[in-house]
Chains A and B, each alone.
Chain A
Amino acid sequence: MISKVIHDLDEALNGLEDNMTVMFGGFGLCGIPENSIAAIRKKGTKNLTCISNNAGVDGFGLGLLLENHQIKKMISSYVGENDEFERQMLSGELEVELIPQGTLAERCRAAGSGIPAFFTPAGHGTEVAKGKEVRIFNGKPHILEHAFDASFAFVKAWKGDETGNLIFKGTARNFNPSMAMAGKITVAEVEELLPVGSLEPNAIHIPGVFIHRIFKGSAFEKRIEQRTVSKRN
Chain B
Amino acid sequence: MALDKNGIAKRIAKELQDGWYVNLGIGIPTLVANYVQDDIKVEFQSENGILGMGPFPLEGDEDADLINAGKQTITSLPGSSFFDSSMSFAMIRSKKIQLTVLGAMEVSDQGDIANWKIPGKMVKGMGGAMDLVASAENIIVAMQHTNRKGDSKLLKKCTLPITGLNCVKKIVTDLAVLEVHSELGFVLSERAPGVSVEEIVSKTIGKLFVPDNVPEMSI
Contact = CB atoms under 8 A, between A and B. Distances in A.
B161 A123 contact: no
Closest 7 A/B residue pairs (Cβ): A102-B89, A102-B131, A80-B124, A105-B85, A222-B64, A170-B65, A78-B125
A122 interface: yes
Contact of B89 (A101, A125, A169, A172): A101
Given A123-B134, A158-B65, 20 more contacts: A28-B71, A78-B125, A79-B124, A101-B127, A102-B47, A102-B92, A122-B93, A122-B135, A125-B164, A125-B165, A169-B65, A170-B66, A173-B84, A174-B84, A178-B84, A205-B84, A222-B65, A226-B73, A228-B62, A229-B73
Interface of A: 27-31, 53, 76-81, 86, 89-90, 96, 98, 100-106, 108-109, 120-128, 158, 168-178, 205, 222-232
20 contacts: A27-B85, A89-B122, A100-B134, A101-B126, A102-B47, A102-B89, A102-B93, A102-B130, A102-B131, A103-B130, A108-B85, A121-B93, A122-B130, A170-B76, A171-B65, A171-B68, A174-B84, A228-B56, A228-B73, A230-B57
Contacts of A123: 130, 134
B86 A231 contact: no
B72 interface: yes
Contact of B122 (A53, A86, A122, A205): A86
B125 A98 contact: yes
A155 to B, nearest CB: 11
B49 A171 contact: yes
Contacts of B65: 30-31, 158, 169-172, 222
B67 A124 contact: no
Nearest to B68: A171
A171 B70 CA distance: 12
Nearest to A113: B86
A120 B84 CA distance: 18
A109 B86 contact: yes
A224 B125 contact: no
Nearest to A120: B93
A77 B125 contact: yes
B47 A101 contact: yes
Contacts of B93: 102, 120-122
B6 to A, nearest CB: 16
Contacts of A178: 84-86
Contacts of B130: 100, 102-103, 122-123, 126, 128
Q: Which of B57, B67, B70 has the most CB of A within 10 A?
A: B67
B198 interface: no
Contacts of B83: 173
Contact of B161 (A53, A78, A126, A225): A126
B139 to A, nearest CB: 13
B49 A174 contact: yes
Contact of B82 (A81, A170, A229): A170
B1 interface: no
The residue among A27, A158, A178, A205 with the most chain B CB atoms within 10 A of its own CB is: A27
| Residue among B60, B71, B129 with the highest chain A CB neighbour number at 10 A | B71
